[in-house]
Structure 1
Amino acid sequence: MAEPIAQPPLGPIMRSLPKSVLPYAQLIRLDRPVGTWLLYWPCTWGITMAAYATNASLLDTAWMLSLFGVGSLIMRGAGCIVNDLWDRRLDQQVERTAMRPIASGQITPKQAIVYLGGQLTLGLGVLLSLPLDCLLLGTSSLVFVATYPLFKRFTYYPQLMLAFTYNWGAMLGFPAMGHWDVPTMAALYASGICWTMVYDTIYAHQDKRDDVLAGIKSTALAWRENSKPVMAVFTIAQIVLLTGAGVLNGMGPAFFAGVGWATYRLALMIKNVHLDAPKDCWKWFVDNIKTGGVIFLGAFVDYLMKLFGLM
């Protein structure tokens, strides 16, 4: 088995929940919000860059950022339920996941499916709050959400399917703000895909010993000792594509400063992460929350400067 990974203590909100509710909160990972942040950041990039391009009002931009924040929380939760339903037998064989609510028997598959229906209903409510032309683009991402868990059984690249899913908001943010700019949307989306390939490979290195025994496939097992060089290539591609999206959108200096700062953080992560130490992998995986925030901050500062006539 892999080195035991310390579970973080429950926060005050989780501790205040009734015992009967707590497994449902843990099923949608309310105790581990890192996945929600990593899903949300690409949404904020798309929204803010579209707002910059269209001189959208601060109120409209804040509303859309809030709506996507709620949507990210709901859809990440729905994705976790789907993942845990598919993986309940596999999760029992991996130390880090063995105590997940479905794998450990705290929640039955039938109960989880009912809960999933509630999550998807809430997600539909958020989607219907967006402009009508977002509906088809938004619902099409459900194909990736539903099939992602299958890929770890048949291919060493389930991270790619996760990357397709987790960065959908980078494209959706543009039409949500009433702005279709396909080249910029595509460059931003591709940049996010490269980012996810890196951070989720680091995540996968936590479980590689158990994964071999359980028959679970990942890029961590495909790339092995070449993981860092390959991740470096993906990071270079990420930064080139992100810079390209900024150029296409006519972004200002704050955005490119944010890209530079993110580049430094990513290079530091790849250099320093110890891929054979699960706790260190988790630490650097979580650190990507700050990297995503840095990119958003640069875009948002440019947006504010343009909005108030400072550039």
Structure 2
Amino acid sequence: MSDLSARVADSTGNWVDTHAPVWSRPYLRLSRFDRSIGSWLLLMPCWWSAALAAGVAHNITQLPLVVVLFFIGAFVMRGAGCTWNDITDRDLDDKVERTRSRPIPAGQVTVTQALVWMVLQALVGLAVLLQFNRFAVLAGIASLLIVAIYPFMKRITWWPQVVLGLAFSYGALMGFAVTFARIDLTAVALYAGSIAWVIGYDTIYAHQDAEDDALIGVKSTARLFGERTHRALVVLYGLAVLLIGVALALAGTGWPAWIGLGAFALHLAWQIRRLDIKDGALCLRIFWSNREAGLLLFAGLVVDAVLRAM
């Protein structure tokens, strides 16, 4: 077993590396608690949907609790998903410079230990899910199929980011499932817009590994788009804004939600203008900034919900 305190190559100086007990660090790294950005990005569509549904219902009394439960659920289920991803990708991770220091290829944990850790996280996620109505519970469980197949997609399609979008945007449906025990056209439009957003930002992220991915035969939209990435992002981000706008129109939102969407759109435009696909560090920073983009939209939706409930 290798040094448990050894850090993952692309994650240094965080609380896991500096404050977590040494024995726990490989497990926290499996869950990406040393890099929480993915959990935030998984959370954003959940919060959008919760706020939008609360506005439609003209009732925000349950919104704070739903926001907290979604927060916990997003972090533990993203942790379980990342653990599953590392289990399935352990042979590929060993061949990529950025990922070969992850806990499994680095020998910090065994596959069996990782599986047990994944199950424990999933059980916490189930406990959160059981706080909601029966329809929401069944809808949440259905998302696990998408999560399970995602790690294998980069081996067989140039569009694995689409499957990631299906998984990471699923929360856009859950706010309506929790609030109304149904999924309507508004939720579907929000889900579709979020999928386009996820494909865009994960394309930016994937440019960090494009050269290594080409060597080992891993496919991605970053490799597919190549030098056309900026144009592809104009389409993807434009589609995201358009579809989310459709959801807002269907929901009958007021001016705060539209201001939030406008701020979100401006942030995405800034990303496209700033991006240099040959600068891996810049790609990572722009990818990280999508949390702020999502929070801008969420803020507008929350203000709108509050005003509509008055």
TM-score bracket, normalised by the shorter chain, equals over 0.9
Give the aligned partner of residue 104 of structure 1.
Answer: 106
Tell whether 2:285 aligns with 1:283.
Answer: yes
Superposed CA deviations along residues 54-97 of structure 1, whole A, max 9, x for unmatched, are: 12233x11000100100000110010011001100101111111
Distance in 2 between residues matched to 1:131 and 1:54, nearest whole Å: 16
Which stretch shows the higher mean deviation, 42-51 or 170-179? 170-179
Give the aligned partner of residue 71 of structure 2.
Answer: 69
Instruction: Judge conservation of contact 1:49–1:299 (CA < 8 Å) in 2.
Output: yes
Q: TM-score, normalised by structure 1?
A: 0.95
Superposed CA deviations along residues 35-65 of structure 1, whole A, max 9, x for unmatched, are: 000000000011001111112233x110001
Matched to 2:56, the amino acid is A
Distance in 2 between residues matched to 1:14 and 1:185, nearest whole Å: 39
What stretches of structure 1 move > 6 A for 4+ residues in a row? none
Give the aligned partner of residue 191 of structure 2.
Answer: 189
Instruction: Judge conservation of contact 1:160–1:193 (CA < 8 Å) in 2.
Output: yes
Which among 113, 123, 127 is matched to residue 129 of structure 2?
127
Superposed CA deviations along residues 259-303 of structure 1, whole A, max 9, x for unmatched, are: 111111101101111101110100000000000001100000111
Once the two structures are superposed, the pairs formed by residues 292-307 of structure 1 within 5 Å of their partners are 292-307=294-309
Tell whether 2:83 aligns with 1:84.
Answer: no
Superposed CA deviations along residues 175-226 of structure 1, whole A, max 9, x for unmatched, are: 2112635110110000000000100000000000011111111001111111
Instruction: Judge conservation of contact 1:48–1:61 (CA < 8 Å) in 2.
Output: yes
Instruction: Judge conservation of contact 2:9–2:99 (CA < 8 Å) in 1.
Output: no
Identity of aligned residues (%): 37
Tell whether 2:239 aligns with 1:221.
Answer: no
Distance in 2 between residues matched to 1:125 and 1:44, nearest whole Å: 19
Matched to 1:97, the amino acid is T
Give the aligned partner of residue 120 of structure 2.
Answer: 118
Distance in 2 between residues matched to 1:229 and 1:279, nearest whole Å: 21
Once the two structures are superposed, the pairs formed by residues 37-48 of structure 1 within 5 Å of their partners are 37-48=40-51
Instruction: Judge conservation of contact 2:136–2:181 (CA < 8 Å) in 1.
Output: no
Tell whether 2:243 aligns with 1:264.
Answer: no
Matched to 1:254, the amino acid is P
Gaps spanning 5+ residues in structure 1: where? none
Instruction: Judge conservation of contact 1:46–1:173 (CA < 8 Å) in 2.
Output: yes
Instruction: Judge conservation of contact 1:54–1:179 (CA < 8 Å) in 2.
Output: no
Distance in 2 between residues matched to 1:164 and 1:239, nearest whole Å: 17
Q: Report the alpha carbon displacement of residue 8 of structure 1 after superposing the two structures with TM.
A: 4.2
Distance in 2 between residues matched to 1:138 and 1:174, nearest whole Å: 12
Give the aligned partner of residue 231 of structure 1.
Answer: 233
Matched to 1:296, the amino acid is F
Give the aligned partner of residue 57 of structure 1.
Answer: 60
Distance in 2 between residues matched to 1:40 and 1:120, nearest whole Å: 16
Report the secondary structure of 1:153's partner residue: coil
Distance in 1 between residues matched to 2:96 and 2:279, nearest whole Å: 16
Give the aligned partner of residue 28 of structure 2.
Answer: 25
Give the aligned partner of residue 198 of structure 1.
Answer: 200
Q: Report the alpha carbon displacement of residue 20 of structure 1 after superposing the two structures with TM.
A: 1.0
Instruction: Judge conservation of contact 1:131–1:178 (CA < 8 Å) in 2.
Output: no
Matched to 2:223, the amino acid is L
Measured at CA, do residues 181 and 216 of structure 1 come closer, stay the same or move farther in structure 2, by a change above 3 Å?
A: closer
Distance in 1 between residues matched to 2:48 and 2:67, nearest whole Å: 10
Measured at CA, do residues 94 and 161 of structure 1 come closer, stay the same or move farther in structure 2, by a change above 3 Å?
A: same
Report the secondary structure of 1:140's partner residue: helix
Q: CA RMSD in A?
A: 1.4
Distance in 2 between residues matched to 1:8 and 1:167, nearest whole Å: 25
Matched to 1:155, the amino acid is T
Distance in 1 between residues matched to 2:177 and 2:152, nearest whole Å: 30
Report the secondary structure of 2:134's partner residue: coil
Distance in 1 between residues matched to 2:218 and 2:263, nearest whole Å: 35
Matched to 1:279, the amino acid is A
